[in-house]
Chains A and B, each alone.
Chain A
């Protein structure tokens, strides 16, 4: 219908910027991933070592462990955010006085910088100065120490993430719920369907694209989180909260193992792309095409 050339002209600036700031650094990282390299050493020479880094990664217990911890984190955090976000979105569908104010308040965590979120949660949960361990101890006699207890540290990070990102999920789900047509719901009520049936057979299938989209973006961001976790626990205690993002960060900066860090990044990026792509082609793309 129109000349394709115009389309490419509109797309060109995006492609150029992403090429220079996305693709070129990526090519460099792939190149380095085949080398042994410590750029901060006295003798910072890149030594080609073929696929050694890739061979090492398969047997690297620390890396596999960090992958496991990350998957666990994503499952716990994203699932809680979805459930909580859905209930809050449903609650926002009703009218009540002060709704606009409450909705504004509910979106506030979104605007706090991850590094600040990490700092404030650290201050709230550090034993002896933090308010949360203090009152847990005084009121319930529970000792909470994120410096020594792996469970406490992990749970704190999940709760912090839920606090920070549930608002985004709520907003996305509100957007989906608002756009639902009323007819199927009226029909279902006339036919005598229960609340649970309506949810499983009508609401959920209809908001599925929004749910998948939310999972998609949360998954993507959770896999590259560094700031918050680094600030709060530094990946510890032990390796309890050493997510892949943190693991790579530790490999590159304190250990200055740049070549191997690049290899891990390439693998992690590859895994992320595969998972997201599967999610995209099976859940999102067919619906988009139908339109």
Chain B
């Protein structure tokens, strides 16, 4: 009986995995095809891979700097959002501030804005208001880190709130009685207990920032361009170079894959967006 259900499980999940993996596999297939073969009859089985697209992408110095920008921006943004989100959640959870529930809801409304229209005010603010002399926030890594906070910081707060709320208040009260400072309570008691939630927040905000396209395409020109915007540079007037686009896509997947693999086991424990654990 037990053996049978194990086999059923494996067969079932192999099938599901096939469906899940197929588009990613197909991305890879396209990346190892020369442009002319793209328009012939599609074939599921990969034969005779062509590595030219990868050689081209790897040899492109510009793309390597985009990759570096992507890494710096998404890591910086994920860390900033997780830390600030954690502090905000601690404040919302433990202090009796007036209007805190309204503030909590208000934060998430920042994530709801339809992006297309907000591109222009962002651009104008960054070039004129957040600028000193020649220098402006536009096309800087720090600028993108801050801009991405508009959608990632609310997400971090909403993901972490149930985790922080779930830690009994008696724990910090006992520590305060023992004479610990607020800083000590946060860093030595609350922070370690929130680790699964923090890990999930960190990874998901990282992935959201890594994958963002519209804002990066508008608010960067050269210095802070990210890998996703590099994709659109291969959509030219003479047609789209799908093979190269796919090769870049595979490159964007690899770091995300590594980061995701690292925290895999924490993900389930910490994913409680807005909902309370029973």
Contacts and interface: CB of A to CB of B under 8 A. Distances in A.
Nearest to B110: A22
Interface string B114-146: 111111111011000110000000000000001
A194 interface: no
Contacts of A269: 109, 112-114
Contact of B147 (A21, A179, A262): A21
Interface in A166-215: 167, 171-172, 174-176, 178-181, 206, 209-210, 212-214
A26 interface: yes
B9 A226 contact: no
Given A4-B95, A113-B210, A25 B121 contact: yes
Interface string B180-219: 0010000000000000000000000001001111100000
B90 interface: yes
Contacts of A32: 121
Among B5, B17, B253, B268, max chain A CB count under 10 A is at B268
Interface residues of B, number: 103
A4 B147 CA distance: 29
A1 B182 CA distance: 12
B96 interface: yes
A157 to B, nearest CB: 14
B111 to A, nearest CB: 6
Interface string B15-55: 01101110110110010000000110110100000000000
Contacts of A212: 274-275
B106 to A, nearest CB: 8
Given A112-B24, A129-B39, A94 B5 contact: yes
Interface stretch (A46-54, A73-81, A117-125): A117-125
Contacts of B78: none
A63 interface: no
A226 B276 contact: no
Contacts of A107: 260, 264, 267
A11 interface: yes
Contacts of B57: none
A265 interface: yes
Nearest to B166: A291
A15 B85 CA distance: 11
Contacts of A268: 114
Interface in B142-157: 146-147, 149-150, 153-154, 157
Given A284-B274, A284-B275, A29 B101 contact: no
Given A175-B268, A220-B111, A114 B9 contact: no
B117 A10 contact: no
A175 B159 CA distance: 12
Q: Which of B114, B115, B162 has the most A CB atoms < 10 Å from its CB?
A: B114
Interface SS of chain B? helix
A10 B91 contact: yes
Interface string A100-120: 101111111111111111011
Interface string A22-58: 1011101100100000010000000000000000000
B84 A13 contact: yes
A120 B260 CA distance: 21
Nearest to A209: B275
B10 A97 contact: yes
B20 A10 contact: no
A175 B114 contact: no
B122 A25 contact: yes
Interface string B235-251: 00000001001100100
A11 B165 contact: no
A2 interface: yes
Contacts of B260: 104, 107-108, 110-111
B273 A7 contact: no
Contact of B264 (A13, A24, A104, A214): A104
B103 interface: yes
B182 A2 contact: yes
Interface string A212-254: 1110110010011011000000000000000011001100110
A214 B273 contact: yes
Nearest to A23: B110
B211 to A, nearest CB: 4
Given A226-B116, A227-B213, A7 B27 contact: no
User: What are the 3 closest A-B residue pairs judged by CB atoms, nearest first?
Assistant: A7-B95, A96-B9, A113-B211
17 contacts: A11-B92, A14-B153, A17-B146, A21-B149, A100-B264, A108-B21, A110-B207, A113-B228, A114-B213, A119-B242, A180-B278, A206-B278, A224-B114, A226-B114, A252-B117, A265-B118, A288-B276
Given A7-B94, A21-B149, A25-B125, 20 more contacts: A6-B91, A7-B95, A26-B118, A88-B16, A94-B9, A113-B249, A115-B211, A123-B26, A128-B39, A134-B41, A175-B272, A176-B277, A212-B274, A217-B273, A253-B116, A261-B117, A265-B117, A265-B118, A276-B112, A288-B276
